[in-house]
Amino acid sequence: MERRRDHNWSVAKLTVSLDDDQMVELGKLARESGVSENDVVREAIDRLLQSHRGPGTPRFARRLGPLAIAEHDPSATDIVNDPSAP
């Protein structure tokens, strides 16, 4: 992965292998959206990362463990109050 500075942002350059159909669809989506293929890929990665983080849990709370998460996510109280939970 190559890193460079671009417009005061630190940017990492990554090569991704796509099959022909994926490349055609990516180009079509970019043209229809009026953005570059890079922008489409970056947005997709942002969405994937956000879904992995989970909604509603502040970044600091994920590092503090289940008790901190329970304060911000009422559905997490079952885990905290479950005596069989590790």
- Does position 2 have pLDDT exceeding 70, yes or no? no
Q: Quick one: pLDDT band at residue 20, thresholds 50, 70, 90?
A: very high
Q: Is the dihedral of CA 29, 31, 33, 38 positive or negative?
A: positive
Pairing of the two strands 2-6 and 9-13? antiparallel
**What was the pLDDT predicted at 48?**
87
Compute the mean pLDDT over every residue in the chain, rounded to the nearest whole number: 74
Calculate mean pLDDT across residues 1-27.
81
Tens digit of each residue's pLDDT (9 = 90 or more) over 34-56: 999 999 999 999 888 887 776 66
Domain boundaries, the chain: 18-53, 56-86
